[in-house]
Structure 1
Amino acid sequence: MRTQVGIIGAGPAGLLLSHLLHLRGIESVVLERRSREYVERRVRAGVLEQGTVDTLVEAGVGERLKREGLPHHGIELRYGGAGHRIAFERLVPGRCITVYGQQEVVKDLIAARLAAGGDVRFEVDDVALHDIGTDRPSLTFGGERLDCDVIAGCDGFHGVSRDSIPGGVLTEHRRDYPFAWLGILARVKPSSEELIYARTERGFALHSMRSPEISRFYLQVAPDEDVAAWPDERIWAELRTRLETVPGFALATGEIIERSVTPMRSFVAEPMQYGRLFLAGDAAHIVPPTGAKGLNLAVADVRVLTEALARFFASGSAEALDGYSRACLPRVWRAQHFSWWMTTLLHTFDSDDAYARRLQTSHLDYVASSDAAGTTLAENYVGLPYEESL
């Protein structure tokens, strides 16, 4: 078998790349080790930047997103017994975020690829990369071989792509945080129209949503927390303690349909390429979810890679491909800093003393009261504009 671009991973990065390449007349094959049912039901991020929404709409896969997505024009910072709204419509006019689950994006992209005759293969075993340092790379899987001009590694942090790069090529930057998030999905109407980021002495809490009927919550917990230690009653009690801190706010409760513990870490591998292998999304970088940047960074990577591949196949020039990492990394590091900043601003640390906590409160006060500081948060949260067009 042969294709122009072999793509490993049928998450948002791999599927969107395949679809954008299709729109440019470039062939691809997507290989995914999980089943279609698994990737379509896997609950992940739910906050889409303005640029991500625009990209999906421009690519022709935004019809259901426009119909069912929930545009938000602000978020609330809740601390010290008061709520402080960061108003996007005033601070960054014309830009907002949209709440629409990652699994819904995946469903839309899979449907679009299959409707267009795209080659997306699920439950693929033993994917291996070969000759990635040459101009004749290939993939093997399940006893088959796929020759490619280029390979895109979109298979996440634990995938095979990054580990296939020879030792000593990549510089890996990593930071692990001394806490995790307990994520809860509940069948209950959201208690707020916008996301609430709450800082308390007991730890951070986030009130989010996935639809008008489904709410998403997060609690800061220990990094080795056992999810079995959190029955429904304990979860709701802790959420009330951390969220019901302003007058008049009451948390609605309901059936908890999913709970899991997510470690908090930051990671960047650079360069994001080696030979004819190009990494995108979580295969190249991880951010703590506080800033809602993971999925959105993957989309930004894919936009750059699509344009570079289009130029390569149109002219034979590899100049844009060679500059892929240089084009992506400034945005990656901006998102890294923003995610770190939001995380340190809102979480409690065991090492904090009274001085550190007062500094944290002072910074929150500044963000809540200063248009300059609030705009910094708002423009990073809704996503910096893209310099290039699709």
Structure 2
Amino acid sequence: MSAAQDRRYLALALSLGRRGQGRTWPNPAVGCVIVNDGRIVGRGWTAPGGRPHAEPQALAQAGDAARGATAYVSLEPCAHHGKTPPCSQALIDAGIARVVAPLEDTDPRVSGQGFAQLRAAGIEVTTGLLADQAEADHAGFFIRTEQGRPFVTLKLANSFDGRIATATGDSQWITGPVARRAVHAMRMRNDAVMVGAGTARGDDPSLTVRDMGVDHQPVRVVVSRRLDLPLSGLLARTAKDVPVWLCHGADADDMLQQTWDGLGAELIRCDVTGGHLDPRSVLQGLGAAGLTRVFCEGGGALAASLLAADLVDELVGFSAGVVIGAEGTPAIGAMGLARLVEAPRFELIETRDLGGDVLHRWRRSGG
């Protein structure tokens, strides 16, 4: 294969893998393309729940045509026996001649061993191609593996002057329908949507993906130290239909804990620091439960705590051409910064127009 062909087929494998984002946790969302004599003979991506993996699905589609073929995989094939056999062995048994993958898996159960097994079996292994894209696609899985927490995207939709509501709390709608639809698409690609208790009380949100034709929903996470949330709200009424996880402190009322448990919510006890739930403890709890990608939609206090603790990996802003004024509600709460050098910094990676609103995406500096 030429370098251009390798890039083309590996790019396809990466795009297939992204189809599984938000549905494969705690496993990575991997794509696989099998090519023999210039013809695609098999394709696959990680199934919902994380299994079966991409490689065996592509191999099953390829059948005998896999012998002597090249497999393009968006992450190093697994090499350990878990709930499914190793994908590296499946590739060997199928007679694959060459494997092209961008980078190693950071899971210590794999971490180079999959490539080593393939090479030991006489299979040519090519790595490094499209590594930056693969790093971005698998960032959630990597961060959970290395740090025990999910990748965090903080989304803010605000007025030109950084407000999310007027002084009376009126907030619907600051941005237009195109921007709101983009938010639903982003929710769909994450394992969970997270908000603070104030947002859950004030907005009574559903936090679901709507009008996208999906057959699954992200986990809905609310950070509430005391579990003082409306028991008649949308989240309470639908907790048995779409998962609701509540991060709370040890001092949450026992009766409220029992009530939410009875409603179908999953309770995650977290540490309290300075009178508030410790954001690092919250994310560690979510990571331990298997989440790899969390889409945080505020409010201001939760956003400030995550930023102050340096736990935001990506910022997504939707800015509207409306001005509310200083009496409006700020998008981000107090962070206690004395000097500008203490402020978290992000690097711009994308801007675009969305129906008259402006989308801007930023990644953690140096990330």
Mark yes or no: TM-score above 0.5: no
TM-score (norm 1): 0.21
Using CA pairs below 8 Å that are at least 6 residues apart, which structure has the higher relative contact order?
Answer: 1
Q: Which has the higher helix share?
A: 1
- The structure with more radius of gyration: 2
TM-score (norm 2): 0.22
